[in-house]
Amino acid sequence: MAQAWPTLKRLYLNDFSARLLDWYDAHRRDLPWRSDTPDAYAVWLSEIMLQQTTVAAVMAYYRRFLTRWPDVRALAAVEDAEVMREWAGLGYYSRARNFLAAARMMAAEGFPVDEAGWRQLPGVGRYTAAAVAAIALGQRAVVVDGNVKRVVARLFIVETPLPAEDEIYRLTDAITPGERAGDFAQAMMDLGATVCTPRSPKCLLCPVRAGCRAYRQGNPTDYPRRSPKKARPERTATAWWIERGEGVALVRRPPKGLLGGMLGLPVSEDAGAGERLGQVTHVFTHFRLTLDVRRGTEIALDGDVEWWPRETLDEAGLPTLFRKAVTIAMQEDANVRSGG
């Protein structure tokens, strides 16, 4: 029996991938970055945009971005500020900076030919390199995103709390086939997104439930295990609404750090003087920021300033935090002008 186990295991794993791929062929999601002839640039762009961002939020950005810059050479030739403006509202702006830096490298040196080569690019980690290698290059690579982690944790009842990177990677490697690895990766993602969901998983619709240990135990939502959440630190600052005629002061933030390279209202750590117009709160990955929005004077300005027309502030490519602050300031101004 001991000698027969490797053969039985191999048959089981082959059956698992075959069942999943049959399901994927019939039920895969229709997404704009999926193609029978995938392009590495388009796949890479989608994977960068989808990091910590939902499919629904990415759709319009992806189409618009690819229309403006359809290949790596077109992207590499544009100014940083133009790309950052196009990325505004999508969040996690270091992604855009790294994406542009990597595009310029590839425009000069060519595309990497394997997963290891992709790992050398700025902003490309284990997951993204594997996804591009499998989906765009047709190579066997082990692709593990959030959806895959959940599916694998339930399949094998992984007791280690997330991230459990090495354990889940090893288990995903064990079920990844040599052929159609890209389709298999996308099938696992689709399964997690549409069937093996965080809450109320649709186990009766799952093509691989027979091999799922959590389903057999009757407790799929107990997995993946999670460590207790840490409280987010609270930070405060002041955003200044400063006008000159019909223009509003915007400053370009430093290239590195929070909202790096983006235009925004001038910000200071202390409140200082000035009429308080309102307050906005925004949750970032590692902390929660509360901004007092105050009317200021040009004395508070430091560095290069762009005086942006009030009427076209929505075209400035402001990140969500500053769009919220601008909305509050303009509403308050409108109230004052109307005598409200």
Low-confidence ranges of the chain (pLDDT < 70): 1-14, 272, 299-300, 302-303, 333-340
pLDDT at 275: 87
One domain for residues 215 and 296: no
94 and 284 Cβ atoms separated by less than 8 Å: no
228 located within any domain: no
Both 34 and 168 in one domain: the answer is yes
Q: Give residue 43's pLDDT.
A: 96
Does 205 lie in the same domain as 250? Answer: no
**What is the C-alpha separation between 24 and 4, in angstroms, rounded?**
30
Residue 212: inside a domain: yes
Q: In 3-state terms, what secondary structure has residue 263?
A: strand
The catalytic residues are 47
148 and 54, same structural domain? yes
Is the domain of 67 the same as that of 100? yes
Q: Which of 222, 251, 274 is the last residue of a domain?
A: 222
Rounded to an integer, what is the distance from CA 173 to the centroid of its chain? 24
Domain identity same for 276 and 212: no
Burial class (CB in 10 A: 0-12, 13-18, 19+), 105: middle
- Model pLDDT for residues 184-201, shown as the tens digit of each residue: 999 999 999 999 999 999
| Distance in angstroms (rounded) separating the CA atoms of residues 284 and 310 | 27
- The verdict on 19 and 96 lying in the same domain is yes
Task: Please report the pLDDT score of residue 338 as a whole number.
Answer: 58
Q: What is the Rg, in whole angstroms, of the alpha carbon atoms belonging to the chain?
A: 24
| H/E element, 148 | helix 146-155
| Whether residues 172 and 84 fall in one domain | yes
Rounded-to-integer distance, Cα 30 and Cα 190, Å: 10
Last residue of a domain, one of 222, 253, 274: 222
Total domain count for the chain? 2
The number of residues in the chain equals 340
- Token digits of residue 7: 């053969």
Residue 303: what pLDDT?
67
Q: 181 and 269 share a domain?
A: no
| Rounded (to 5) percent helix, strand, coil in the chain | 50, 15, 40
Beta bridge partners of 305: 251
In a domain, 206, yes or no: yes
| Domain co-membership, 183 together with 258 | no
- Whole-Å CA distances, 236 to 12, 245, 248: 55, 29, 22
**What pLDDT is recorded for position 3?**
45
The two tokens of residue 27 are 């039920």
- The sign of the dihedral angle between the CA atoms of 10, 12, 18, 23 is negative
Whether 115 and 174 map to the same domain: the answer is yes
For residue 101, the number of C-alpha atoms closer than 13 Å in the C-beta half-sphere is 12
Quick check: is 9 in a domain? yes
Range of the domain at 173: 5-222
Last residue of a domain, one of 170, 200, 222: 222
Q: Kindly report, residue by residue over 111-145, the tens digit of the pLDDT.
A: 999 999 999 999 999 999 999 999 999 999 999 99
Residue with tokens 């082959």: 14
Contact status, residue 305 vs residue 251, Cβ threshold 8 Å:
yes
pLDDT at 257: 81
Output the domain CATH number for residue 14: 1.10.340.30
Name residue, tokens 């996690």. 92
HEC string for 298-324: HHHCCCCEEEEEHHHHHHCCCCHHHHH
Examine the domain organization and report whether 28 and 147 are in the same domain.
yes
Q: Domain with 317 in it: what CATH number?
A: 3.90.79.10
**Domain contains 254:** yes
- Evaluate whether residue 204 is within a structural domain: yes
